Amino acid sequence: MEEFVKSRIKQVLKGDHNAFGEIVEVYKDRIYQLCYRMLGNAHEAEDTSQEAFIRAYVNIDRFNINRKFSTWLYRIATNLCIDRIRKKKPDYFLDAEVKGTDGLNLYSQVQSKEMTPDEKVAKMELQELIQMEILNLPEKYRSAIVLKYIEELSLKEISEVLDLPIGTVKTRIHRGREVLRKQLRNI
């Protein structure tokens, strides 16, 4: 797969615009899923994953062909998600009220805090509940957990995507697991 993608990248570098479409086909589901789990909203996930591919295209000549392309792409997408999460924070409540409910947005989380855990479980599907707890993780734990358990990357790859030492990645995964354990123990 990497070989196929690299041959396509060489085509793109030669000016073959359409070869990039084949690269998008290969990675679109993985990148969209990453963004969806990081952001928890289909619209934002679509926006961010689209932008990740466009950035990859614009900067394709900076990609080192000897490295793994998926790692580079994950890195672009993860950074865009983190940027978006950080920008979104200040207008946490305002944003939620304006947008109304979209299944799993911030507004529903604000509401759900007033419910008992049992009510929460009763009201939400299991999948939604897990997604909500992932979204409640601080973004540095969230990216590590999503890359590890949803995208199923190795610790080494995660450390390259996040540009952090493996030890730091492990610590973040451990902390993330602990937070999730406390939130999900009653299921």
Partner 1 sequence: MNQCPVDIKEYMHEYLDGEISPEHEQILQDHLAICSDCKQDLHELEKTIALVQSMSHIKASDDFTLKVMQNLPREKKRVGIKRWFSHHPFLTAAAIFLILMSGSLFSSWGDAEQFSVTKVPNIVVENNTAIVPEGETVEGDIVVRNGDIRIEGKVDGNVTVVNGDKYLASAGEVTGKVEEINEIFSWLWYQIKNGVNSFINLLAGS
Query: Which residues bind to partner 1, rule: CB under 8 A?
Result: 13, 15, 17-18, 20-21, 24-25, 28-29, 31-33, 36-37, 46, 49-50, 53-54, 57-58, 61, 126-127, 130-131, 134, 145, 149-150, 155, 170, 173-174, 177-178, 180-181, 184-185, 187
Shortest Å, Cβ 176 to partner 1: 9
* DSSP codes, 77-106: HHHHHHHHHHHHGGGHHHHHHHH---SSSH
Q: Shortest Cβ distance from residue 49 to partner 1 (Å)?
A: 7
CB of 91 to partner 1, least distance (A): 26
> What distance lies between CA 92 and its chain's CA centroid?
19
If the CB atoms of residues 86 and 182 are measured against partner 1, the closer one turns out to be: 182
Task: Yes or no: say if 171 and 159 are a contact pair by the CB < 8 Å rule.
Answer: no
Dist CA 17 CA 32 (whole Å): 22
> Are 149 and 158 spatial neighbours (Cβ–Cβ below 8 Å)?
no
Residue with Cβ nearer partner 1 (113 or 181): 181
